[in-house]
A and B are shown apart, each in its own frame.
Chain A
């Protein structure tokens, strides 16, 4: 046993090395050194650095998000403006159409009125002509009737030939 284990490398564990209390002070001492070193490196260098990087990234992302939000608002605004312009243009077109239509209507109305007046005048004129013709026809009828009546009266009873009486009787009969 002793000849085998004179070199430390070939030594085999007797029992549990974890319960070899002679190594405890050594391990605990070096562990404390390790912990102190790690604590100082972490708390002085690593953690503040990572915290600042994370904060920076958070800020950058927040900034980008804000910018995107602004862009989006701008886009919404532009869309609204476009829509408004579209509505305006449409309304204007509507107004123009309306105005043109009214103008045409006016022209049509004027022309219509003119035509109506012309037609009315023409019809009045022709009515007057008809009336005149009818009147002249009427007086011609009266004349003819008078003449006929006078002739009949003169033939039948020449003694009673009274021109005025015959005329009155004929006109009374014609109005009758």
Chain B
């Protein structure tokens, strides 16, 4: 990576580094990142935990019949996820509700916290989302085999299709089953990464005087869009988890 001198000059004028915000850096000096190093990712994961606890635990400490504002937010989220799990997986999926709720509240709060200026978006990293998706994938697959035994494989054997087509369909089903964690994780990370990078690109353009109003307007617009997107992505991640869970519990449907 040879940087020419005029490139350095260009950089000073138009400093667009959309990927800088995703750098994982140790917080307390040094440059080696070991397994237990406290990094900015660790910091923002901790902030995510604190915000989630503030919302769901401190917000509900009144236990009021007529809820306060924070309590009603917590209740709305609770009822929303509860209904989602109940509608998609059915009554027998409700015992996995705490896991799905934890997943949702983590992704939602991490996404929203990541929208703060100068923050680090933990969910924009493949490492994080892939871990989440793999947890879901492994858990759902193991659960499917534990609950249904070998008949879990009927998920891949489409009995409604003509017999000649079934092996081909089974192959496609198996492939799509194993692509699930990939798309599941990349969807979330990609959305986060793309939105934040676009904001940074426009922020870089804001340096140039004559387009800065347009750039700042674009940042506002993209930011509004991103606020919507982070919530929808948390919702989508959770609802797909519910769908996969339903497949594990009732593979024949």
Residues of A within 8 A of B (CB): 1, 8-9, 11-20, 22-35, 37-39, 41-43, 45-47, 49-54, 56-57, 60
Contact = CB atoms under 8 A, between A and B. Distances in A.
A10 to B, nearest CB: 10
Secondary structure of the B contact surface, majority rule: helix
A8 B78 contact: no
Contacts, number: 145
Interface residues of B, number: 57
Contacts of B52: 38, 41-42
Contact of A26 (B35, B98, B105, B106): B35
Given A18-B22, A38-B105, A27 B3 contact: no
B20 interface: yes
Interface stretch (B56-64, B230-238, B244-252): B56-64
A57 to B, nearest CB: 5
A70 to B, nearest CB: 21
B74 interface: yes
Nearest to A23: B24
Contacts of A8: 25-26, 29, 31
B131 A26 contact: no
Contact of B102 (A14, A30, A39, A51): A39
A53 B65 CA distance: 7
A45 B101 CA distance: 13
9 contacts: A18-B193, A24-B127, A26-B39, A26-B42, A38-B102, A38-B105, A47-B78, A49-B63, A57-B65
A35 B135 CA distance: 11
B26 A34 contact: no
A34 B106 contact: yes
B34 interface: yes
The list of the 8 closest CB pairs from A to B, nearest first, reads A46-B56, A13-B19, A43-B98, A17-B22, A23-B24, A27-B127, A39-B102, A34-B45
